[in-house]
Amino acid sequence: MSHVMNTYSRLPVSFTHGEGVWVWDDAGRRYLDALAGIAVNTLGHAHPKLVRVVAEQAGRLIHVSNLYRIAEQEKLADKLASISGMDNVFFCNSGCEANEAAIKIARLHGHNKGVEAPAIVVMDKAFHGRTLATLSATGNRKVQKGFEPLVPGFVRVPFNDIEAVRKVAAANRNIVAVLVEPIQGEGGINISSLQYLRELREVCDRHGWLLMVDEVQCGLGRSGRWFVYQHAGVLPDVMPLAKGLGSGLPIGACLARGAAAQVFEPGNHGSTFGGNPLACAAALATLNIVEEEGLLENAARMGALLLSGLREQLAGVTGVAEIRGHGLMIGVELDRPCGVLATRALERGLLINVTMDNVVRLLPALVISEAEVRQLLSGLVPLIRDFLAEQPTAASAARA
Ligand code: PLP
């Protein structure tokens, strides 16, 4: 019996080492990793420069606590501010904590303005984490069920629907912020239109709300720019980050700008581990290596190649509902549940994931090469085709 708590349905494989987009299991078998630890391993596995930085930092200083100034944290905050246009950063250890910080900033900002019961506009199909506040902000009943009472103060609207937000603005004086993923990851790779992001910025400006963009999964280069909001030419007030920031070292960050950056004062928020020297050194190295190796451009190019390859090779295949993507964040939506594809892919030496029951999700490391994209396509496309050929749905059988 395993003594690990039963919170994941794990696939029957265990990895021992990796290199780039490749990982090996304990039987010596090699896999193409198209998931990168769910958008975490920005630089792939065992990037030699990152390994060197982490080893050197671990040998010097791992942790001291936030009771002292941390040089690595200051440097990382400077770097994050310069690539994002934001003013300052709170460091934590995960995406849900980064969102918790954002929610607390919004509430305190509201109280400071005299709003007694501040509320935040959130989206259908959103995913913000599994703490009580972030699961309450999440737009998926499966994540919430059994954990009621939910944390109050969230008003849900359909994603990509600016009129719904305007209606809430007209009706609800308690709103203080909007929290949105510019690309919903867990929700099935749903991409907000750039116009929607611009309109959200306008609505927030008009009403004095904070625009909070959760770029935990879509941010940090995956879209071909550092952040998805940069494609829209707007700036948020608050941005939670995590996942790809440390390329595998656990680190989260909540960035803030303008008035939002001045909301917290000593005593309002904290984290014992947050922003420790080891995690910050890894994150700073990750950001520098992304720049040195031109990985933003690579993400854009390889993402476009993968997306067009999937669209060409799966064109006209019955059962493929839609293929969506931006950079190296791609979803293939099928017309039927396809969770079994993750296991079948594993059997063929490919790591992928299925989200929302019917969306095959690809989130490879930003270092993926053209040859590896082609290998991914030649593994994945037949897998999807075979799966769809063997299981006609009632709907497609009726049409035939
Ligand atoms: N926000 C988004 C957009 C996410 O995709 C996730 C995780 O999938 C989270 C927040 C939560 O991050 P973590 O699992 O690090 O708490």
1: confidence class by pLDDT, cuts 50, 70, 90: confident
Q: Is 179 helix (H, G, I), strand (E, B) or coil?
A: strand
Q: Which atom of ligand 1 is nearest to the CA of 130?
A: 16
342: confidence class by pLDDT, cuts 50, 70, 90: very high
Query: Tokens 């200083």 appear where?
Result: 61
Q: Is 243 a catalytic residue?
A: yes
The number of C-alpha atoms within 13 Å of 389 and in the hemisphere containing its C-beta is 8
Q: Which atom of ligand 1 is nearest to the CA of 131?
A: 16
Q: Check if the beta carbon of residue 151 is closer than 8 Å to that of residue 131.
A: no
Q: Per residue in 282-330, pLDDT tens?
A: 999 999 999 999 999 999 999 999 999 999 999 999 999 999 999 999 9
Q: How far apart are CA 151 and CA 179, in angstroms?
A: 15
For the chain, percent of residues with pLDDT exceeding 90: 97
Work out the angle at residue 57's Cα, subtended by the Cα atoms of residues 256 and 292, and round it to the nearest 5 degrees.
65
List helix spans (H) across 172-212: 194-207
The number of C-alpha atoms within 13 Å of 113 and in the hemisphere containing its C-beta is 21
**What pLDDT was estimated at residue 392?**
62
Range scoring the smallest mean pLDDT among 50-64, 216-230, 344-358, 379-393: 379-393
> What does the pLDDT average to over 343-367?
98
pTM above 0.95? Answer: yes
> Would you say residue 184 has pLDDT above 80?
yes
Q: Check if the beta carbon of residue 280 is closer than 8 Å to that of residue 201.
A: no
**Which residues sit with their C-beta closer than 6 Å to ligand 1?**
94-96, 99, 127-129, 181, 185-186, 214, 216-217, 242
CA of 217 to the centre of ligand 1 (A): 7
Q: How far apart are CA 364 and CA 35, in angstroms?
A: 5
Catalytic residue of the set 214, 227, 237, 264: 214
Q: Per residue in 148-178, pLDDT tens?
A: 999 999 999 999 999 999 999 999 999 999 9
Catalytic residue of the set 90, 91, 127, 264: 127
Closest by CA position to 151, among listed 139, 172, 135, 129: 135
> Would you say residue 394 has pLDDT above 90?
no
Residue nearest to atom 1 of ligand 1 (CA): 128
Cis peptide before 48 (omega within 30 of 0): no
CA of 24 to the centre of ligand 1 (A): 26
Q: Which atom of ligand 1 is nearest to the CA of 250?
A: 15
